Structure 1
């Protein structure tokens, strides 16, 4: 049995003062932010922001699975699932079309590995497949984030990626796909035009 060190350093929920300060910093950098109490409220908040019929890309995320957002988008009929549309194609012959679908949806949904006290986001990926949509391609981005991912600085955010998130994702990937995970690419978002990226912070430990 594999033992994982889930240090309290990276799993402790912030106090109200820290949470409020982080929300204010994110807003100053152009991000929309709302704080909710649990996964059910997070799911309602995320889906309420997406007009019916919109194309929605749910990027690989334990948080989206644990909140039920992944199933609500990809197993329902309220939205056009970009993920379902993408995986209906053949990667060998239609990789270009798959990348366009994944990267240019009306809404890109996912999570992040860390949020810094001064309002920066850090997202790690093995392949980088979701990062283009987050950085520029998607018209709108919604990040659903457990508040335990708040960290004081970018240095600690990077430590969280390698010392915490990667360890948990590696175990998940081996169980799900039979292969190890890695950090191939890291995206840092420090500023955004108001209205494009919305962050839903959950007062619970959700995701890695």
Structure 2
């Protein structure tokens, strides 16, 4: 049986304006996050590398499944360079059927690097997942969190952020799996209103479109 595509609202692929990025960075800062704005995915990759070095190369780093990390080269940088302790590399020796071991290891890594599906102009983050494996570490399990977020994910408010999830991010992810003969779905949704621990979470906003 063929898997039907889901139409995506391509208006959500348009990068936000400089004013929107400025407001989002300000909103994030006021909500307890460290915010950076960079021009390109390459600059984001370099900044993430520097941040991970500052945190410590002895720390275990979990790269969440993310088109943003893949396209920017951050996933390869963390998991393939040998400079950092990659959780994915360490779990390569675990039996793929031993799901509980992998879930437990990913639930509380020293650091998680990933992305979100939307950021509001006043600094609220929205992340979605099929399995939810990255959402626990995002919320509290990881000691440090770094999110890399394309400018097209900056939206005016939470209502628009949720609409972006269902009409753009989900259809794009569904299409990515459809060409492999599988379906995607939204299994878990996390709304991050504020970070309670100063210095724990960093958001790197990229002025270009990257990721879903």
**Is the aligned partner of 1:191 residue 2:194?**
yes
- TM-score, scaled relative to structure 2: 0.91
- The 3-state SS of whatever aligns with 1:49 is helix
69, 79, 84: which one pairs with 1:79?
84
Q: 1:31 Cα shift? A: 0.5
C-alpha distance in 2 between matches for 1:32 and 1:203: 17
**Gap regions ≥5 residues in structure 1:** none
- Provide, for residues 150-189 of structure 1, a one-character-per-residue CA deviation record: whole Å limited to 9, x for no partner: 011111111100100011100111234x310000110011
**Gap regions ≥5 residues in structure 2:** none
Aligned residue in 2 for 1:115: 119
C-alpha distance in 1 between matches for 2:155 and 2:65: 22
- TM-score, scaled relative to structure 1: 0.93
C-alpha distance in 2 between matches for 1:3 and 1:157: 18
- The 3-state SS of whatever aligns with 2:149 is strand
Runs of 4+ more than 3 Å apart: 1-6
Q: 1:104 Cα shift? A: 1.6
Q: How does 1:1-208 map to 2 (within 5 A)?
A: 4-8=7-11, 10-50=12-52, 51-92=56-97, 94-176=98-180, 178-192=181-195, 193-208=197-212
RMSD after superposition: 1.6
Residue correspondences, number: 205
- Provide, for residues 92-127 of structure 1, a one-character-per-residue CA deviation record: whole Å limited to 9, x for no partner: 3x3332122212211101100000111110001011
- Provide, for residues 14-70 of structure 1, a one-character-per-residue CA deviation record: whole Å limited to 9, x for no partner: 222221111111100000000000011000001101122321100100000010000
